[in-house]
Structure 1
Amino acid sequence: MFKKTVCSVLIFLLDLSGPSDSYGLESIKEDRIELPAPAVLIRSRYSGMEAIAILRSKRIINFILICFMTIMLSCSKEPFTVKGAMEPPEIIQRGTGIIMLPATDEQITLTVFAALDSNHYGVIDDFNENQFFQELEKRTGVHLEFISPPLEKEQEVYNEMIASGDFADIYTHDGNVYPDGWDAAVDDDIYLDLTPYLKTYLKDYNKARLSNPVLEKQTTTAAGRVVCIYVFYTEPQPPWMGLQVRKDWLDDLGLDVPVTFDDWEKMLTLFKTEKKAYAPLSIGQHGFMSISHALSAGFHAMETLMNVDGKVVYGPITDGWKEYLRLLNRWYRNGLIDPDFMINGAWQVDKQMVINGETGAWNAMYTLISEYERAGNGIKVIPVASPVVNRGDKLHIRREDSFIGHPVTISTKCKYPDVAMQIINYLYTEEGALLSNYGIENDTFVYDSNGKPVVTDKIRNNPKYSMPQAQALYLMPPSKFGGLYDWTRELSAVPEKDLVAFEVWGTADDDYILPETLNFAGGEAIERASILSAVTSYMNDCTVRFIVGDMKIERDWDTYVQTIKEMGIDRAIEITQKALDLQNE
């Protein structure tokens, strides 16, 4: 009797402490998974980081109470059961028979947070205009309703949704992240812990992640959970972005392919004087080549944290970055860089600048080489390696090989998490992967003589859209909804001569690049993210100012470095080092 009374009191206290985010228990209602309710009250009264901090303190209270209750129950001879607990909901085969959906007579709609990117602009305004998602709905009977902010607003809209408690059912993550990490997102009642469902609703995804020890490790959180469903490449993709130059201009000027920074300076000078290029070199708006890191690589520096022989280093405060800025400032003063680079995109050249002959060197994807050349005007383009200080210098930085893509999560507000998991899992089956990568047979793909699917001219030579745009309209956009991604589908539209880009850009090592899937413990993720957000904003601003001459290397460099240190970069390095060491164990 005493134990029952204690249990009743403890359960009452747990109820008072608010919705639990760490019970690890599920209840079933009307044959459907019912998840613990999010802490809506907290999020309605507080916003952003205040709400997250309060949720974290409530977890501690709940943990203490649960521990005490566990001790008391362990002494009892009576079995303890959870009211309402039962077997997983009944499932039936429907549609193709490959995907199994819960028995239901109602029309199911799931909301999906997925940002539109540059390939979608002018092509679709909503992912429901995409043929892949239309076919997926036919096969599954489930309608997906998309919440699609512009890519540059993704994190802002995401933060507002999380703070308000008005969650989507499914989240795709292309830059938008929960600031305290995946484990905290589960503990804070944001995302569902998917670990219990790996052998049921997510069995095909789990089979894929267990096929490679690296994938298994990188898809498991620091607490040993599986929270995200990641895109897996069917085979690693070599570096797909890097530097390109006008080969026809090199030939006209009698120049060899540039190797050193001195070679580049000579080339850019002639592009300006002889070819009258407005922007001999086009760079990103922050003063560097995002994604490829190609221009600063020769100074052994890049615009973020690096892994230098197992030691985490912040690139923009190294001597290499200092020399990079010194060079870029000279090139800017001499008119060798786009004078308006600050209003460019962050990572890829404006196509019209290439076609109009305004620039002769830039950063872009390998698939665009042939597009530039098809535009006419005698344009010939070649990929080139990152410049180095001295011939023979070894490069350690480039666009890394891709084998894992952006993750997908399922929120605790999802009314049909079993359905959500099964739809995403379908994309890891042979049939689902064929649909997502190639679409519909005899429409967007056919089989070649070897039995391999290849895209048709509807994708490869669409009269209205580029290949990336056609893929955005007819196939599943890469990294937008999980699945197995067969990037080789692009190759049929790329002339064989352009595939040399993989070899040219791949001559560099990528050993200075940190893994994308580092896991951070507890509150360290939010601490690190907060530091890096402030530091990156300051660094971006100062990089531009150093290049245009508003800040001087000789006068302002030491102050710049000291400011970044005072902003906490050493702490961010420490947190990252710990996560890197853990992953390398």
Structure 2
Amino acid sequence: MKRFLATAVSMTILLLSISACSNSSTVADSTSTTAKANTETSTQNDETTATTASESDSASTTESGSDASEYPLSGGTLTYWVSLNSNVAANYSSLADTPYAKEYEALTGVHIEYQHPASGQENEQFNLMMASAEYPDIIDWNWLTYSGGPQKAIDDGVILSLNDVMAENAPNLTTYLQANPDIDKMVKTDEGNYYVFPFIREQDNMCASFGPQIRADWLEDLGLETPKTVADLENVLIAFKEQKGATAPYSYEYSVNNANDPIMFGFGTSKNFQINSDGKVEFGSTTEAYKAYLETMNKWYQEGLLDADIASVDGSQLDSKITSGLTGFTVGWIGSGMGKWNQAGVQNDANFQLEALNYVTEDGSQSEYSYMENRYGGGGSAAITTACKDVELAAKYLDFGYSEAGYLANNYGTEGESYTVENGTPTYTDQILKNADGWPIAQAMGAYIRACYNGQFIQSYGYQEQYFQTQAQKDAPTIWTDTNEKAHLLPPITPTSDESAELATIMNDINTYRDEATLNFIIGNESLADFDQYVETINSMGIDRAIEIETAALERYQNR
């Protein structure tokens, strides 16, 4: 084990010092509510992406800045408020009951009293906690969604600035951030204050876990080439309809994922704020590219290529359409989408095979836009509150997650139970991959590790290399990251308190209007001849002021 860790650390110094960050303006509107942002983070982290087997964990642990002999610490108790992930809640009423928590207490020497908000009420209970000013020692939350941003949370006396705390008590995280200045910038406020112990994805290609998927077996059966252009894809959808009997050739869960339609990206825009080719912030939904996207979607809807039920199709209906052969092209997650659909689809068709598709574009070139997440997206990050009576203990406890032992505990669990080391690589045991109680892999992982959702550590890409069970799943991240998305992404900027309030007022109305108009354009309830009027309406609602706010926040971020 020691030889494995030593090798891993030396390799990581090279890998992590050159790694880059990415953030997505396409995941959700930049003015999403706290509840939406935290819910999306919680669900999306179940799908964080893996790389190829050649980039295994033996080259991917954290840079340690501490003396491992410091742990376990001499003891103590901390209170810790955190949402209970669904993969844990399926079998445990509290994180405290899991093998993970027991192992972590043994390793750190710190007893944690977990406080879990009721499922589905996280936002309400967070707001009640803020109003009461009665805080636990540690709060795990997406502090980017705090009204006014994390600096406002510091100024409001809710959480501590961690600059001195980290310098004195967090050598592991400090060393990592020094080696990764791009991420270091992300976890500071505009004023230069560290505010959380963050959840960080280890590599760029762990940031694309959602994307376009196509029936590869149908392409082969029909003698069709893999589509590269929008026109190619249209011809494929026609063939699926006419020769495979697909009544909804292209379908997806529009009500949930309408911001991530891969066809939109193919025309050179996202739906939300983005950085254009001139380096300026713009609102994607008012561009000519967005109009071209709407024209194509309307055409496909009228021709029966886009699901006639697109406005209302839900997850279970989509599952049925895909696995029964009514749909041949969709967009979804790697695990809970592709993995689930392929497993169920072969029950109806032994040749069923969904595979990831490169984002199609108008001319077949590399897509400028795609769905990607940020290596640091804000969720799963822990702040120390002003109520904490032992800040040193809290900081050392949280910093453990960025140590070698913390990396293994969070990503792989307990050696000999949930993983063994084979040829220098942590490898999950049958307790995880073939659970004797019949638990799904994600639930078995939830008992032993936090890598299957989030927490205060660096998520290993090797975790999902083993979580994804098929080659199609393993290939998806490489396919979906073959874009220029990072050039257009806004980093995790933080408008001021006043700006946040103004931005929310403007964008709540604009986003509602935009979403209603978009659907009406697609299904033909509104003519695309009225697109210019649609743009004028959004302009009259204050989009220019919203862009000014986003631009100012971006400039402050760049000056951090």
TM-score using structure 1 length:
0.74
Amino acid at match of 1:302: S
Change (3 A) 1:419 1:434: same
2:426 match: 453
Amino acid at match of 2:544: D
Q: Which sits farther off after the overlay, 369-378 or 302-311? A: 369-378
| Aligned residues of 1:329 and 1:546 also touching (Cα < 8 A) | yes
More strand as a share of residues:
1
1:503 match: 478
Q: Secondary structure at the match of 1:199?
A: helix
1:383 match: 356
2:308 match: 339
- From 195, 200, 204, the counterpart of 2:163: 195
Q: CA deviation at 1:285?
A: 2.5
Q: Secondary structure at the match of 1:190?
A: coil
Q: Secondary structure at the match of 1:341?
A: coil
Structure 1 Cα separation of the partners of residues 412 and 319 of structure 2: 27
Structure 1 Cα separation of the partners of residues 236 and 458 of structure 2: 42
Q: CA deviation at 1:99?
A: 4.3
Amino acid at match of 2:541: M
- From 384, 405, 409, the counterpart of 1:410: 384
Structure 1 Cα separation of the partners of residues 406 and 507 of structure 2: 38
Q: CA deviation at 1:156?
A: 4.2
| Corresponding position: 1:485 with 2:459 | yes
Matches within 5 A, 1:263-274: 263-274=232-243
More helix as a share of residues:
2
- From 190, 199, 207, the counterpart of 1:222: 190
Change (3 A) 1:564 1:243: same
Q: Secondary structure at the match of 2:100?
A: helix
2:37 match: none
2:218 match: 249
Structure 2 Cα separation of the partners of residues 159 and 277 of structure 1: 47
CA distances 1:504-543 after superposition (whole Å, capped 9, x unpaired): 2222211343244223345323433443333323322322
Matches within 5 A, 1:278-427: 278-286=247-255, 289-290=258-259, 294-309=262-277, 310-344=279-313, 350-367=318-335, 369-375=338-344, 376=346, 377-378=349-350, 379-392=352-365, 394-400=366-372, 402-405=374-377, 406=379, 407-427=381-401
Amino acid at match of 1:260: T
CA distances 1:60-92 after superposition (whole Å, capped 9, x unpaired): xxxxxxxxxxxxxxxxxxxxxxxxxxxxxxxxx
- From 516, 521, 528, the counterpart of 1:553: 528
| Corresponding position: 1:441 with 2:415 | yes
Q: Secondary structure at the match of 1:132?
A: helix
| Aligned residues of 1:288 and 1:295 also touching (Cα < 8 A) | no
Structure 1 Cα separation of the partners of residues 321 and 448 of structure 2: 28
2:30 match: none
Q: CA deviation at 1:424?
A: 1.6
Structure 2 Cα separation of the partners of residues 169 and 356 of structure 1: 50
- Flag the structure with larger Rg: 1
Q: CA deviation at 1:445?
A: 0.8
Amino acid at match of 1:297: F
Structure 2 Cα separation of the partners of residues 175 and 421 of structure 1: 17
Percent identity reads 24
Q: CA deviation at 1:433?
A: 1.3
Q: CA deviation at 1:304?
A: 1.0
Change (3 A) 1:480 1:240: closer
- From 542, 545, 548, the counterpart of 1:571: 545
Change (3 A) 1:175 1:260: farther
Q: Secondary structure at the match of 2:329?
A: strand
CA distances 1:332-376 after superposition (whole Å, capped 9, x unpaired): 233323333344569x99545433334211122334545433332
Change (3 A) 1:563 1:477: farther
Change (3 A) 1:466 1:245: farther
Q: CA deviation at 1:481?
A: 2.2
2:177 match: 209
Structure 2 Cα separation of the partners of residues 434 and 553 of structure 1: 54
Q: CA deviation at 1:183?
A: 0.8
Structure 2 Cα separation of the partners of residues 246 and 548 of structure 1: 25
Change (3 A) 1:469 1:181: same
Structure 1 Cα separation of the partners of residues 409 and 267 of structure 2: 44
Change (3 A) 1:531 1:133: farther
Structure 2 Cα separation of the partners of residues 150 and 498 of structure 1: 29
| Aligned residues of 1:154 and 1:175 also touching (Cα < 8 A) | no
Superposition RMSD in Å = 3.1
CA distances 1:286-318 after superposition (whole Å, capped 9, x unpaired): 48554x552211111112110113210111111
| Aligned residues of 2:210 and 2:332 also touching (Cα < 8 A) | yes
Change (3 A) 1:538 1:190: farther
Structure 2 Cα separation of the partners of residues 122 and 355 of structure 1: 25
Structure 1 Cα separation of the partners of residues 321 and 88 of structure 2: 21
Q: CA deviation at 1:544?
A: 2.2
Tell me, which stretches of 5 or more residues in structure 2 are unaligned? 1-32, 35-67
Amino acid at match of 1:283: Y
2:42 match: none
Change (3 A) 1:114 1:456: same
Change (3 A) 1:278 1:538: same
| Aligned residues of 2:205 and 2:481 also touching (Cα < 8 A) | no
Q: Secondary structure at the match of 2:522?
A: helix
Structure 2 Cα separation of the partners of residues 345 and 438 of structure 1: 34
| Corresponding position: 1:581 with 2:547 | no
| Aligned residues of 1:243 and 1:294 also touching (Cα < 8 A) | yes
2:54 match: none
Q: Which sits farther off after the overlay, 481-490 or 544-553? A: 544-553
Change (3 A) 1:111 1:343: farther
Structure 2 Cα separation of the partners of residues 426 and 224 of structure 1: 23
Amino acid at match of 1:533: N
CA distances 1:244-265 after superposition (whole Å, capped 9, x unpaired): 1111122233322122222222
- From 169, 179, 183, the counterpart of 2:147: 179
Structure 2 Cα separation of the partners of residues 459 and 196 of structure 1: 40
Change (3 A) 1:552 1:313: same
- From 448, 451, 468, the counterpart of 1:474: 448
Structure 2 Cα separation of the partners of residues 252 and 322 of structure 1: 34
CA distances 1:155-180 after superposition (whole Å, capped 9, x unpaired): 44433432343445433335872111
Change (3 A) 1:570 1:184: same
Q: Secondary structure at the match of 2:130?
A: helix
Larger RCO (alpha carbons 8 Å, 6+ apart): 2
2:14 match: none
Q: Which sits farther off after the overlay, 433-442 or 363-372? A: 363-372
Change (3 A) 1:581 1:454: same
Tell me, which stretches of 5 or more residues in structure 1 are unaligned? 1-47, 50-94
